Amino acid sequence: MKILTVCGMGVGSSIILKMNVEKALRRLGVSGEVEVADIGTARGAATGVDLVVTSGELATQLGQLKAQIVVVDNIVNVDGIAEALNTALPNVS
């Protein structure tokens, strides 16, 4: 499974989100490759990924993607991220 984490500018917060998505995946017993992107490059980077993990505000800016968008409220809350991923995983083909 490929996952893209997206932040608004640069890659600082998306790297934090990437690390916490990786922790959440381990908790769920799911293997996956996690990449990072800023909002400007996210649409192109989302090609070929299964999930895009980002904030609600950025999710609306991304628009329609082939990948499923997973919205997280807090990028440092691993439990919340795990819950959001667990909800999305059954929908990943």
pLDDT band at 10 (very low <50, low <70, confident <90, very high): low
CA–CA separation, 84 vs 73, rounded Å?
Answer: 10
All structural domains of the chain: 2-91 (3.40.50.2300)
pLDDT at site 13: 86
Burial class (CB in 10 A: 0-12, 13-18, 19+), 34: buried
Residue 86 DSSP label? H
pLDDT at site 22: 97
Q: What is the pLDDT of residues 32-83, one digit of tens each?
A: 999 999 888 899 999 999 999 999 889 999 988 999 999 999 999 999 999 9
